[in-house]
């Protein structure tokens, strides 16, 4: 009895539903905060990027911002819908990893770039999970695989 309660045997494990929840909750959070600011507010972001010389890997300010807008804006929408999820997660992972390495200098707590290293690591873990597992059957990718 204790084992059944401990393992929640009355609720069957559903990995596809778990992947759907991950995509809808976590990835939508990334979209709402970072995707919208880079797509809807692109001109403002470009002005700020020019002012602070945001070119962490030396490809230029505009290509850097276009990649970030694609990864945080377009790829997050693709992941939420479950379209090309593994590719979208890969592009997003690269963007987040570059930001953590070159902008935040792998900061986890406190300075120099604020106290959001923990959130960055969680987003990286989410992208790795979606890259490895895919979107699951409750997605457009899943419906294409079942045909």
**Domain segments of the chain: what residues?**
15-145
The tokens describing 112, both together, are 């120099």
Q: What is the mean pLDDT of the chain?
A: 89
Rounded mean pLDDT, 17-40: 94
**Cα 66-90-126 angle, rounded to 5 deg:** 110
Q: Cα–Cα distance between 122 and 140 in angstroms, integer?
A: 25
Whether pLDDT at 30 is above 60: yes
Of the given ranges (2-16, 52-66, 81-95, 116-130), which has the lowest mean pLDDT?
2-16
Q: Given this model, what pLDDT does residue 88 score?
A: 98
Of the given ranges (66-70, 93-97, 101-105, 128-132), which has the lowest mean pLDDT?
101-105
- Upstream peptide bond of 112 is cis (omega within 30 degrees of 0): yes
Q: Given this model, what pLDDT does residue 145 score?
A: 79
Q: Cα–Cα distance between 41 and 89 in angstroms, integer?
A: 23
Q: Given this model, what pLDDT does residue 67 score?
A: 96
Q: Cα–Cα distance between 129 and 10 in angstroms, integer?
A: 26
pLDDT higher at 142 or 127: 127
Count CB neighbours of 69 within 10 A: 22
DSSP 8-state symbol, 105 = T
pTM greater than 0.85 (yes/no): yes
Whether pLDDT at 1 is above 80: no
Q: Given this model, what pLDDT does residue 127 score?
A: 98
- Residues of the chain with pLDDT > 90, as a percent, come to 56
């Amino acid at each position: 009895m204790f084992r059944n309660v401990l393992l929640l045997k009355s609720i069957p494990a559903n990995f596809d539903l778990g992947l759907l929840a991950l995509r809808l909750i976590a990835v939508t959070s990334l979209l709402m905060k970072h995707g919208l600011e880079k797509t809807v507010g692109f001109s403002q972001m470009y002005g700020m990027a020019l002012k602070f010389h945001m070119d962490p890997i030396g490809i230029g300010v505009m290509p850097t911002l276009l990649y970030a807008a694609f990864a945080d804006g377009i790829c997050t929408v693709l992941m939420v819908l479950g379209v090309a999820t593994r590719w979208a997660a890969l592009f997003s992972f690269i963007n987040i990893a570059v930001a953590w390495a070159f902008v935040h200098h792998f900061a986890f707590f406190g300075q120099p770039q604020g106290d959001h290293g923990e959130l960055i690591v969680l987003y990286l873990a989410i992208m790795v999970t979606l890259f490895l597992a895919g979107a699951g059957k409750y997605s457009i990718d899943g419906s294409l695989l079942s045909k």
